[in-house]
A and B are shown apart, each in its own frame.
Chain A
Amino acid sequence: EPEVTQTPSHQVTQMGQEVILRCVPISNHLYFYWYRQILGQKVEFLVSFYNNEISEKSEIFDDQFSVERPDGSNFTLKIRSTKLEDSAMYFCASRTSGGVTSTDTQYFGPGTRLTVL
């Protein structure tokens, strides 16, 4: 069964460093998302991406964040200069279309746990 994959599973970085989190969405999906979950808290939307551009972003997704689909399979989240409060689990998700029916379920990757020291 197709699934969303994410690498690395765990990333440790120093404050101020740049990190790139990688995702491979399910191959026939067209809509891509990044969410984050600070330890013990709920999952929060960061950004959605469709047709090679950002379609929506939250207030969390400030100038330090960027997303890219560099080729036909990868979808990346870059944090330019990490802060302590960026420590969280980052989830990539994808879905086939942008409606509200059952076929529009978002499927999540296993997450990347980012630790900023």
Chain B
Amino acid sequence: AQKITQTQPGMFVQEKEAVTLDCTYDTSDQSYGLFWYKQPSSGEMIFLIYQGSYDEQNATEGRYSLNFQKARKSANLVISASQLGDSAMYFCAISGYSTLTFGKGTMLLVSP
């Protein structure tokens, strides 16, 4: 079984600052993928970034980067230069060869 833990129910950040959203995981699979999705108030699930368990380098996608520490089983999302439009719910998820298992999410609020 796979499990995702997101310990921060809510985070506040000022515009243009960086913020880190925490995610730890548990899995017995040797190969797995870690994903972050953004869910704005409109409700859709937007894929942000992927990290493979065998990837040696941290994933980056524009202002998003993933701080992957395999030994600690953590996959924290770093958003640089926060924008007002980044205010949303953020979900970390893990995939084996089939389904996605999600965490409970972190609500990020970006203030001017």
Contacts and interface: CB of A to CB of B under 8 A. Distances in A.
Nearest to B96: A100
Interface stretch (B12-20, B29-37, B70-78): B29-37
Number of chain B interface residues as a range: 20 to 34
Interface residues of A, number: 28
A101 interface: yes
A42 B97 CA distance: 20
A79 B9 CA distance: 32
B32 A100 contact: yes
Interface in B59-105: 91, 93, 95-105
Interface in A80-117: 89, 91, 93, 98-102, 104-111, 113
B45 A111 contact: yes
A75 interface: no
Contacts of A45: 99-101
Interface of A: 33, 35, 41-45, 48, 55-56, 58, 89, 91, 93, 98-102, 104-111, 113
